[in-house]
Amino acid sequence: MRELVTAWRPAVAGVREVFHARFVAHAYPAHTHDAWTLLIVDDGAITYDLEQAHHGTVGGTVTLLPPHVPHDGRAATTHGFRKRVLYLDPHVLGEDLIGAAVDRPGLTDPPLRHAVHRLHTALESPGDALEAESRLALIRDRLRAHLLPLVPAGPPPPRGLAGDLRALLDRDTAAGLTLRDAAAALHAHPSHLVRAFTRAFGLPPHRYLTGRRVDAARGMLLAGVPPAEVATAAGFHDQSHLNRHFTKVLGVTPGRFAARSRHSGGTPWRTPG
């Protein structure tokens, strides 16, 4: 069974991307997003690690992965899995819930699961934007109700050296920066920077930056930018460099991703209900 993806960017505030995928052999390497990842599984099962803790998700579970926290993913069954994902802007749920989502990424809540399914159905029809916005608002409230009791009292801990380096990497992901420049800017030894970042975020700075560039590339592809123009605009050396990293993360080449996007006429699957 061939790996298959369909993705598009709907005209609905707060939803950065809709992503439908069927994977059998593809395994996601550890990576991060700067968006919330709201995931449901339609067939099969997925296992994943989130901040070095092992988890799994199946059809009855709603999975919420927070921004900036490394996660990977792979099929837990021999026949693979089908999933539907929404990437939500950070403000939809707020950074105050990141820690709670790390502690409890899987939510067993049948009405919530059905609501997410209905939101996907609305997002498949451009004329149903108001319905999609309404459903997203209700889903947001239900997710926050699940997670707010898990939020610790008091101010968040200070960002620290690793957070300062992440802010530098986020400032211009296409241009990037050298480790020497980062060390000079933060008044830290390069090796100490790498150790602090890896300890805090679960992956080294270069892999974090590559993941951010892949996210930038997929956004450009969904906006209709030709794959040949995306590589350097996203910060990759050339198209071959983009292809290698994009395929490693997404399981398909940038060209196939673009061809299956709604911008290019790609059609998501429909599920009953």
- Number of domains present in the structure of the chain: 2
pLDDT range class, residue 3, cuts 50, 70, 90:
confident
CATH of the domain at 232: 1.10.10.60
Inform me whether the pLDDT recorded for 272 exceeds 70. Answer: no
Q: Let me know: does 69 contact 36? Beta carbons within 8 Å.
A: no
Shared-domain flag, residues 206 and 97: no
Q: How confident is the model at residue 41 (pLDDT cuts 50, 70, 90)?
A: very high
Under DSSP, the state recorded for 78 is: T
Selection from 64, 75, 44, 53 nearest residue 109 by Cα = 64
Helix (H, G, I), strand (E, B) or coil at 223: coil
Domain at 104, CATH number: 2.60.120.10
- 139 pLDDT tier (thresholds 50, 70, 90): very high
* pLDDT of the residue at 52: 77
Contacts (Cβ under 8 Å, ≥6 apart) of 62: 38, 39, 40, 106, 107, 108, 109, 112, 113, 116
pLDDT tens digits along 215-239 = 999 999 999 999 889 999 999 999 9
Domain membership of residue 106 (yes or no) is: yes
Same domain, 84 and 169: no
Dihedral sign from CA coordinates of 196, 201, 204, 206: negative
The answer, yes or no, to whether residue 269 has pLDDT greater than 70, is no
Averaged over 43-62, what is the pLDDT?
Answer: 93
Residues 36 and 124 in one domain: yes
Q: pTM value?
A: 0.89
Is 265 a residue whose pLDDT tops 50?
Answer: no
Distance (Å, rounded) from C-alpha 266 to C-alpha 21? 12
pLDDT at position 71, please? 93
In a domain, 79, yes or no: yes
Measured CA to CA, the distance from residue 77 to residue 167 in angstroms comes to 38
Q: Which structural domain, as residue segments, surrounds residue 231?
A: 160-252
- Confidence grade of residue 4 (pLDDT, cut at 50, 70, 90): confident
Measured CA to CA, the distance from residue 48 to residue 52 in angstroms comes to 9
- pLDDT above 90: percentage of residues in the chain: 79
34 and 55 both lie in a single domain: yes
What is the sign, positive or negative, of the torsion defined by CA atoms of 211, 215, 220, 222? positive
CB 34 within 8 A of CB 79: no
Task: For residues 30 and 148, state if they share a domain.
Answer: yes
| Model pLDDT for residues 87-114, shown as the tens digit of each residue | 999 999 998 999 999 999 999 999 999 9
**What tens digit of pLDDT does each residue of 182-203 get?**
999 999 999 999 999 998 888 9
The answer to whether residue 221 sits within a structural domain is: yes
**13 C-beta neighbours (distance < 10 Å), count:** 12
